[in-house]
Amino acid sequence: YVPDGDWNRYELDNAFSIYIPGTMELKAIYKPFVTPMGSNFTAIDNDEAVFLRGQRFMSANNGHDTYCCVTIFHATGTPGDAESHNQAPDITPADKEALRPLIDHEVSPYSFIEHPTYRWVDIAGTKAIEASYSRTSDDGPVSCRLYMLQNYDEIAKVVVTYREKDAHLWKDDLEKVISTFEWNNPK
């Protein structure tokens, strides 16, 4: 899936690419790791990146303060540590237990409103476990989706969050972000 409009493509850690809406910006601490690769395409030479609502969004919406975030992470292991990119075995209680510390870390220092539900999603042949939940915040409930993607000897984590009272601003775009994920070398 390639989004229409003003989205930017990012490649993380030379492992995968993902598109982010143009209304979001890479958090400043990651800027030293950035290499422009052409119009609307940027390489990030790091294993993590965080995108938040950007100044362009603020200007277009009269300074409306809102919360949305896309966090992406990549790790490499040894061959066979993970499933192949296109495998989707049953999600077992052990899988949920293994994911729970990652989700708890994302929720902290807040608490769950709705505990995670799990399912497989298909992204043009690449499989991802989706954990869907909501949490508290300082300004109302936040809708969250954590995606775990495997590729034989590497994993990617993509977390998409937005404040529920601003769903009309973010939901449609942020639910499409995962559909743009693509491994550089699917295994």
Q: How confident is the model over 56-94, as pLDDT tens digits? A: 555 555 555 788 999 999 999 999 989 999 999 899 999
Whole-prediction pTM? 0.91
Cα–Cα distance, 65 to 155 (Å, whole number):
33
| CB within 8 Å of 109: residues ≥ 6 apart | none
Q: Using DSSP, state whether 136 is helix, strand or coil.
A: coil
Tokens of 8: 């930017």
Nearest alpha carbon to residue 52 among 160, 144, 165? 160
**73 vs 54 pLDDT, higher one:** 73
Beta bridge partners of 36: 42
Res 59: pLDDT: 53
Report residue 2's pLDDT band, with 50, 70 and 90 as the boundaries: confident
Half-sphere exposure of 1 (CA within 13 A, CB side): 20
- How much is the average pLDDT of 40-48? 91
Query: What pLDDT, on the 0 to 100 scale, is given for residue 40?
Result: 85
